[in-house]
Structure formats: structure tokens, C-alpha cells
Structure 1
């Protein structure tokens, strides 16, 4: 087992409340996509409440934002899930449900294996990425940094990957 895992957080600003008809497709797909992540190779953990998702958790002092946070065994496993699984089918509809954000809405960072990130830590990572750009502290798929355990390349080959959003 690697000494580090990859944490990721992404946030989204829904165009309407999650209870609206417009967001019903997104809400209906949550259980399916969460189950897909839970079963994906390299999946370690995801943030969730007793409802099984994280839509009730807020961050960045904005009650409208929703959050997704998870931990993966490697950059490769997260990349495979995000860009090559059925997750893409849902995320292609992102603009139907969510505002286009002008600031960073996703951050990646390494955590020691066995340690789970907190919502406060996720806020710090996104805030840092927005202010400083990609660094070892918080980075993106395109501008990533190697694990402190350094058993894989620092940047996945994302040339052939299209953003699902």
C-alpha cells in the first residue's frame, strides 16, 4: 500500500434548489453515481451524511454550494473514475444543473494513507488554489504534483481526456 492517498474536493452552485424540477435529474442520479464511485478500483472513502450523500454539507460560507469530497488510492484511479467511467455521462449534463464557476471549483491534494480529510481542510485547499494556483498543497488534474510516496507520475496523461462538464 502507498503511504499516501489522493483527496479531492469539488463544489458546485446549483442553478435552482435541489428540490426543483430542473435539478431532479441530478438528484435522481446521485445514488447511482455514488455507488459507481464506491465500487470503483482505487476508491477509499467519500464524504457523506446519514442520507448517503453530501448535499447537506456546506462550505465557503455559501449555503447554496454543494460539495463532493473523496479519497482515492492514486491519481490514476481517480482519473479513471472521473474521465473513463459512467460518471462522464452524468457530468456532461453539468451545465444543465449548475452555474459555470469563474474560480477553481476542484482541488486535489495528498493525504497520508488512513487519514481522512475534513471539510475545513477542503475549504483551505480550494481557497489556496484560488489564491496561489496549483502547488503541492492544492493542485488540479492538469497541474498535479507527485505523491510524497512518489510511485506514479506527477501528471496523468490527460491529453486524450475531455472534461465531462
Structure 2
């Protein structure tokens, strides 16, 4: 059965190691969101470094998720001291559970604060695509899909929650589960 891959990417206003209160707040929110998301129905897995190094993205061991990669438009640092980005790569049982996890609860509250932490780049900040059961997407897959989405718009190869496609390639509509609110 196909699974949904979800890649998110954002350019932070300051480097990950910045000791400013907003950076600490972003980390605090992020850790809480990761914990909550990992318990969400339909969540399967997310890319994590083998060593769990905070702030270490480039050059870290990501195992089966592959070498860390970023879109061509990212023009900030790539060292631990200068990296100013947040990216996630995750697998879900389907579109609705991922959508529900992103647009409700604690993650929704964090989304409401995103412009406190992230620059407005005018580029897509997430992309979805379908993978076969047992396939682990790589960071490079996510980057390539996000760049395709930016260059060509939503299509079965690379789409958003709001302009989505089913595993067979037909347009679909994503809605929250009954009883939940955005």
C-alpha cells in the first residue's frame, strides 16, 4: 500500500545556534511538536540523525534517509555555526493523517508562529508525494520534489496538502477528520 512522504523546508531568521530567545523558543516548540507528531495516528517515521546531534544537518549520518540536502535557493550557511534552516522528512500512512497532524493541535499553534522564526521566501515550504510500501525517501528526493513543485506547480509527482493527488495520480481533496478544527 502506498505511503505519503512529506518534506518541509524553511529558512530561519537566525542560525540554529543563535542563543537569542526566539531561537530557544523555536527549539522548545520543535521538540514538543516532534513528540506529539510521533504519537499521531498514521505517523510512520521521520528522518533523524544517528547521533541525534542538535543543529548538525550537513555531514551528519542520516542512515537510509540519505545525505542531507537543501533546495538550490538556500543561500545561508552550511556549518553548525551558520546553518539557518529547518527541514523535516517523514512518512505517513496517508494524506489525511498527515494533514490532520499538521493543521491541528500543537503543530497548528506552531504554524501560527512561523513568521516569528522563518523568513518569507516566496517558495513552497512543504511537498508531498507517494512512495511504495517499504521505500524510505531520501533528503535528495524531498529537495527534488520541492524544486519541481516550485518550478511546475502541483502535480502527482509533487503536491501540497491544498492541491493534492491520490496514489493513482488523480486530484483529491484533503479535509480534517470529523470533530477536529483547524
When the two structures are superposed, what TM-score results if normalisation uses the length of structure 2? 0.77
Unaligned runs of 5+ in 2: 58-67, 79-83
1:6 and 2:33 are equivalent in the alignment: no
1:86 and 2:84 are equivalent in the alignment: no
Candidates 147, 157, 160, aligned match of 2:175: 157
Q: Secondary structure at the match of 1:86?
A: helix
What corresponds to 2:71 in structure 1?
A: 60
What corresponds to 2:91 in structure 1?
A: 71
Q: Alpha carbon RMSD of aligned pairs, Å? A: 2.4
**Could you say if the C-alpha distance between residues 84 and 97 of structure 1 is closer, same or farther in structure 2, counting changes exceeding 3 Å?**
same
Candidates 134, 137, 141, aligned match of 2:161: 141
What corresponds to 1:51 in structure 2?
A: 52
What corresponds to 1:38 in structure 2?
A: 38
**Could you say if the C-alpha distance between residues 110 and 52 of structure 1 is closer, same or farther in structure 2, counting changes exceeding 3 Å?**
farther
Contact 2:44–2:92 (CA<8 Å) still a contact in 1? yes
What corresponds to 1:112 in structure 2?
A: 132
Contact 2:129–2:158 (CA<8 Å) still a contact in 1? yes
When the two structures are superposed, what TM-score results if normalisation uses the length of structure 1? 0.85
Contact 2:4–2:95 (CA<8 Å) still a contact in 1? yes
- Give the paired residue count: 157
**Where has structure 1 moved over 6 Å in runs of 4 or more?**
52-55
Q: Secondary structure at the match of 2:70?
A: coil
